[in-house]
A = this chain, B = another copy of it.
Amino acid sequence: MSASRTAHVILPPPEMEHTPANCRAREMLVRVADKWSMYVIHVLADAGTLRFSELRRRVDGVSQRMLTVTLRGLERDGLVTRRIYPEVPPRVEYELTPLGSTLRDIVHELIEWSGAHLTEVDEARARYDAQLHDPKFVSA
């Protein structure tokens, strides 16, 4: 702690200080830490190149608008490439960039984790929900 700071000031830990790099890392996590972005990266990592309609079928539950917004964000961040073939109707294909491919393992790990811990999470939810209906439960 520097001499100019008084002892009673509670300082944030160094990694949480508002350096530009920290703020940017947070902002980037916004893009990646998003369910649909993760699914799109996961699906493209497995499939290679896909057209919009194929991608939409595989990213189950995504709306057309949400997939469009997600792909634009991933493209802007340099994680996904969009290639337009001048056919009639135009063919548009998406694939991961080399940068996007570096997320492959992390995203797969997270999806694997989700699959591996289903039962534990189910049990935890059942316990939590039972407790909510227990008159001894005090909310804080």
Contacts and interface: CB of A to CB of B under 8 A. Distances in A.
A140 B6 CA distance: 58
A60 interface: yes
Query: How many subunits of this chain does the assembly comprise?
Result: 2
Contacts of A111: 25, 29
B110 A33 contact: yes
Interface string A109-127: 1110111011011111101
B117 A113 contact: no
Contacts of A58: 12-13, 16
Interface string A1-36: 000000000101101101001001110111011110
Interface of A: 10, 12-13, 15-16, 18, 21, 24-26, 28-30, 32-35, 38-39, 46-47, 57-58, 60-61, 75-79, 82, 84, 90, 92, 99, 102-103, 106, 109-111, 113-115, 117-118, 120-125, 127-129, 138, 140
18 contacts: A12-B57, A12-B58, A21-B118, A24-B122, A25-B111, A25-B118, A26-B39, A29-B35, A29-B114, A34-B34, A75-B128, A76-B125, A76-B129, A78-B121, A84-B140, A90-B140, A99-B124, A106-B106
